[in-house]
Amino acid sequence: MSQESSRQSVSSAEETSDNNFTNHAHAIHVRNAPSVLSKEAPPESYRGFLNLAMLILAANNLRLIIENFLKYGFLLSTPGTIAAPYDYTCLMICFLVLPLHIIFAFYIEKITIRPFLNEIKLAKKEGKEPTITPKIKSINKRAGILHTVNITFILLFPSAVSYFIIFHPFLGSIALFNGLALFFKLISYAFVNRDLRLSQLIGGISSSSKEETKIPIIDVYSVQYPNNITLKDLFYFWFAPTLCYQPSYPRSPDRFRPGFFLKRCGEIAIACTMMYFLVEQYANPTLRNSLRAIDELSLVSIVERVLKLSTISLAIWLLMFYAVFHSTLNLLAEVLRFGDRSFYLAWWNSGSLGTYWRLWNRPVYQWFKRHVYLPLVDNGVSPRVASFIVFTLSAAFHEFLIGIPTHSLKGFAFVGMMSQIPLIEMTKPLEKWRGKGSTFGNVIFWMSFCLVGQPAAILLYYYQWNMTHQI
Amino acid sequence: MSQESSRQSVSSAEETSDNNFTNHAHAIHVRNAPSVLSKEAPPESYRGFLNLAMLILAANNLRLIIENFLKYGFLLSTPGTIAAPYDYTCLMICFLVLPLHIIFAFYIEKITIRPFLNEIKLAKKEGKEPTITPKIKSINKRAGILHTVNITFILLFPSAVSYFIIFHPFLGSIALFNGLALFFKLISYAFVNRDLRLSQLIGGISSSSKEETKIPIIDVYSVQYPNNITLKDLFYFWFAPTLCYQPSYPRSPDRFRPGFFLKRCGEIAIACTMMYFLVEQYANPTLRNSLRAIDELSLVSIVERVLKLSTISLAIWLLMFYAVFHSTLNLLAEVLRFGDRSFYLAWWNSGSLGTYWRLWNRPVYQWFKRHVYLPLVDNGVSPRVASFIVFTLSAAFHEFLIGIPTHSLKGFAFVGMMSQIPLIEMTKPLEKWRGKGSTFGNVIFWMSFCLVGQPAAILLYYYQWNMTHQI
């Protein structure tokens, strides 16, 4: 018992005594008081227990790291040797093909400008208001067909290469991921330029008197059509951290900050190293050990494996999220002075799965909202059906992005994504009941997404891969 | 992507459009915004990550429970069979001896009253102020010697029984624990009654004019000496949840609440069951597995074992704390209508080890403060030395309480307790630097006490026990 805070605190009677005979009899218990943990006690802080919980979490994981080391030693191989050199060559080719698609998309727009402007001039010469003539419709149609062909090949080529030629799933997904991003971007590019053209039909004459024509003027951009149709503009869009094309973007006020850039580079390097380490040292052995549990269909063992995987896969997923959505997109934005950097919002506080899907991946969310959901709703489709269509498309893309590189289009990812719809419906009343961002809803969100869903999916695909390839 | 929150939030331009041709071109990126995780972003809540950490903690431990079950099945034996029937008999005898000591202590006080009161009467008859005469000194001395003999035997008998006769360490510690509690109580009883007597010497005549005599009047108690010298009063003190004797205690205002009583009983039953389960199912196998690591002196393995033990020993310790300091002491207090129930304060928020030792065990802290520390300081000993003496005594009692039942008085517990002094000195500047109850200090406290200290001590004693007994 340390007594250094000494005398003040015990009882006032002590103060007068300095005779050694009479210290012992002073009252220690002088008033009624409940125990701190009793219901009748005034509220007390339990922050210490929170610190303890965090400490145990750290200790538990430190222990697992040591246990893993004692069991396996170091498992890392040289990063470059995970796949055959042939795979890397194929990946390179997939990259090099992409600029060709971009140049093609640019020329489609370029050759559409002249006949379109001629058509407007013609109308003006005749004193008519320029409007959607059959000629303009056919111009747009031709551009649409050419874009469709171009965009289709963006996906087809890397899909074929990574399904039939590239063996390693990781390299295959990189090829597909880049193809898919450009696929989204060029769809947006085609749609936006078509609508910019159509908005010129009335914007070229007068903007104030014609509000009832239902073709609103797009005047929020600092660049007007057709001045935006340049190769430089399109290459800027290719690298820009967005999937939604705009003739101009808000630009960051500061000039390029080398410190910011280098920090993001460092983050990417560290995150990639950590992810590689986690995959090789923790995920792989755990997955290998789980094959037997799945073979035996031992439910208790499978649950144990899923729980062990959950922490690892969550750590990898969080690192991936940070490296891609914070570091990489901010790095691109800094180089390109791209101003709107809300690539994600605070999804970690989500009170329901629906909120999570709206917040975590803003580029894809915004693309689907601008180019699929709102056009559907404006054309009279009910919001619920439009949502369903968006989710079905998103599920198809997930299946595409995971199924093709792992060479197993069995629909696991599709079903996983589609199962989000009932889950969202189930967690929606929760959010209404407990309020937005309630702890209860948040815990349900984390449980359904990160602890149960992800590791189970990884196990499934790993099992599938090993069944097919018999490593 | 779920879009049900739909249209309001994207951009104001959308509101005017219901023509399907012009939806795609609307601006999505309209203003500069930093990423949420950037330094330049406004502060954001990270409560979701806290929920996630708690969830992972739960998942990790659920996984360890399953792993343990898969490895060992159920390990529980019938609780009663852990020790030999002979051991239980010895424990019973140790209990039955205690009331004899109480009765003896009562008679020591009883036979001291008459000569003492006579002495006062004599002084009054002679018109003198009653003061500390040689006769009174000798009366007190005789009482002191008798008390010393009585109190020494309280400790000696259970120590001998549990060191030489009782084999099972748990039963031995129960015998010792009860003996030690009565030991503390009767020391307090002897000292307090001596000082109450001495305070009568002046209190019997006038209390106002004699402040400079340095013998202050104890008038905070509702019972005056010698009316407190009854067997009933002493038995009340025996069962009362305090180690400090007072002629009267603050009593709880409510009458006996059966609901409160039954809840505490239920808590004790549940906590004991859980502790038993934790010890048999988790602590024992972990300890058994760790013997090899200690034999091989493999540092990495020992650290891994200590970390694995830490969660288990912490859970057991917290259950023990709750069962003893909250449930049992409150139960006793409720039956005895004992009012001052601050048996512990919020030690879990401690910012340093010193604070922890002051808060977690109030009965012992108060006893040492009242009967050792303050008398020493009042006799001119410096607070630092007095603290050191208190800690040395406390360390000796720890060694006694752990070393005797485990039959190994090697001084591990003594050294462990004494090492608290430098640790307290080291964490004191921390508390000053970061403020009381800082997170940093609190984490250091938990680390030093619960994660490193305890499991290491348990491992040591377990190893020692197995070396001696070769189970």
Interface probe for A, chosen from B7, B29, B299, B432 (most Cβ of A below 10 Å), is B29
* Exposure on the CB side of residue A177, measured as CA atoms within 13 A: 8
Nearest CA distance, A209 vs chain B (angstrom): 15
From the list A14, A342, A357, the residue facing B35 with the nearest CB is: A342
Q: Does position B148 have pLDDT exceeding 70, yes or no?
A: yes
Residue B335 has a pLDDT of 94
- Rounded Cα–Cα distance for residues A280 and A75 (Å): 6
Please answer yes or no on whether B310 and A56 come within 8 Å at the CB atom. yes
- Rounded Cα–Cα distance for residues B105 and B414 (Å): 30
Chain A residue whose CA is closest to B446: A52
Q: Does position B15 have pLDDT exceeding 50, yes or no?
A: no
Q: Are B190 and B146 in contact (CB under 8 A)?
A: no
In chain A, what residues touch B215 (CB-CB under 8 Å)? 19, 21-22
Q: Does position B171 have pLDDT exceeding 70, yes or no?
A: yes
Give me the phi and psi of A251, to 5 degrees please.
-105, 145
Active-site option among A101, A147, A371, A398 = A398
Please answer yes or no on whether B215 and A21 come within 8 Å at the CB atom. yes
Q: Does position A73 have pLDDT exceeding 90, yes or no?
A: no
Mean pLDDT on A277-304: 82
Provide the pLDDT confidence category of residue B78 given band limits of 50, 70 and 90.
low
Residue A215 has a pLDDT of 47
Q: Does position A120 have pLDDT exceeding 70, yes or no?
A: yes
From the list B6, B251, B301, the residue facing A70 with the nearest CB is: B301
Average pLDDT for chain A? 83
Mean pLDDT on A350-376: 90
> Angle, nearest 10°, between helix axes A258-278 and A329-336?
160
Provide the H-helix boundaries in B33-133: 47-72, 85-125
Chain B residue whose CA is closest to A200: B22
Please answer yes or no on whether A346 and B36 come within 8 Å at the CB atom. yes
Residue A96's alpha-carbon distances to A239, A242, A416, B96, in angstroms, are 15, 21, 33, 91
More reliable by pLDDT, A177 or A210: A177
pLDDT digits (tens, 9 = 90+) for A92-118: 999 999 999 999 999 999 999 999 988
Nearest CA distance, B19 vs chain A (angstrom): 6
Provide the pLDDT confidence category of residue B211 given band limits of 50, 70 and 90.
very low
Range ranked top by mean pLDDT from A137-151, A294-308, A310-324, B84-98: A137-151
In chain B, what residues touch A346 (CB-CB under 8 Å)? 36, 44-45, 48
Residue B79 has a pLDDT of 63
Radius of gyration for chain A, computed over Cα atoms and rounded to the nearest angstrom: 31
Please answer yes or no on whether B369 and A10 come within 8 Å at the CB atom. yes
Q: State in Å, rounded, how far the first CA of chain A is from the last one.
A: 62
Nearest CA distance, B118 vs chain A (angstrom): 21
Residue B369 has a pLDDT of 93
From the list A2, A349, A387, the residue facing B2 with the nearest CB is: A387
Please name which of A229, A251, A206 lies closest in space to residue A103, comparing C-alpha atoms: A229
Nearest CA distance, A124 vs chain B (angstrom): 22
| Signed CA dihedral, B259, B264, B265, B269: sign only | positive
From the list A37, A249, A373, the residue facing B326 with the nearest CB is: A37
Tokens coding A168: 């390693």
Q: Does position B212 have pLDDT exceeding 70, yes or no?
A: no
Range ranked top by mean pLDDT from A424-433, B185-194, B415-424, B457-466: B185-194
In chain B, what residues touch A250 (CB-CB under 8 Å)? 29-32
Classify each residue of A209-235 as buried b or exposed e, where b means 16 or more C-beta atoms within 10 Å of its C-beta. eeeeeebbbbeebeebbbebbeeebbe
Average pLDDT for chain B? 83
Q: Is A398 a catalytic residue?
A: yes
pLDDT digits (tens, 9 = 90+) for A296-334: 777 888 888 888 888 888 888 889 999 999 999 999 999
pLDDT digits (tens, 9 = 90+) for A375-396: 999 888 999 999 999 999 999 9
pLDDT digits (tens, 9 = 90+) for A30-56: 888 888 888 888 888 888 888 888 888
SS3 B292: helix
pLDDT digits (tens, 9 = 90+) for B384-410: 999 999 999 999 998 999 889 888 888
Residue B312's alpha-carbon distances to B195, B279, B286, in angstroms, are 46, 8, 9
CB neighbours of residue A4 within 10 Å: 14
Residue B257 has a pLDDT of 92
Please answer yes or no on whether A310 and B59 come within 8 Å at the CB atom. yes
Residue B457 has a pLDDT of 78
Tokens coding A254: 């500061």
A67 exposed, middle or buried (CB, 10 Å; 0-12, 13-18, 19+)? middle
DSSP conformation class of B216: -
Give Cβ neighbours of residue B260 (< 8 Å, ≥ 6 apart).
B330, B334
Mean pLDDT on A157-178: 89
In chain A, what residues touch B343 (CB-CB under 8 Å)? 35
Mean pLDDT on B347-376: 90
Residue A452 has a pLDDT of 67
A-B contacts (CB, under 8 Å) = 410
Radius of gyration for chain B, computed over Cα atoms and rounded to the nearest angstrom: 31
From the list A19, A33, A342, the residue facing B342 with the nearest CB is: A33
Q: Are A176 and A401 in contact (CB under 8 A)?
A: yes
Mean pLDDT on B161-184: 90
Residue A258 has a pLDDT of 93
Tokens coding A389: 């269509």
Please answer yes or no on whether A3 and B369 come within 8 Å at the CB atom. yes
- Rounded Cα–Cα distance for residues A401 and B384 (Å): 69
Please answer yes or no on whether A66 and B300 come within 8 Å at the CB atom. yes
Residue A376 has a pLDDT of 92
Nearest CA distance, A318 vs chain B (angstrom): 11
Please answer yes or no on whether B370 and A252 come within 8 Å at the CB atom. no
Q: Does position A8 have pLDDT exceeding 70, yes or no?
A: no
From the list A20, A49, A349, the residue facing B45 with the nearest CB is: A349
Q: Are A195 and B25 in contact (CB under 8 A)?
A: yes
Please answer yes or no on whether A378 and B249 come within 8 Å at the CB atom. no
Tell me the domain boundaries of chain B. Answer: 85-239, 254-469
Which residues is A38 bridged to in the sheet?
A: none
pLDDT digits (tens, 9 = 90+) for B295-344: 777 788 888 888 888 888 888 888 999 999 999 999 999 999 999 999 99
Nearest CA distance, B165 vs chain A (angstrom): 32
pTM (2 d.p.): 0.72
| A355-359, A403-407, A457-461: range with lowest mean pLDDT | A457-461
Give Cβ neighbours of residue A304 (< 8 Å, ≥ 6 apart).
A293, B63, B66, B67, B70
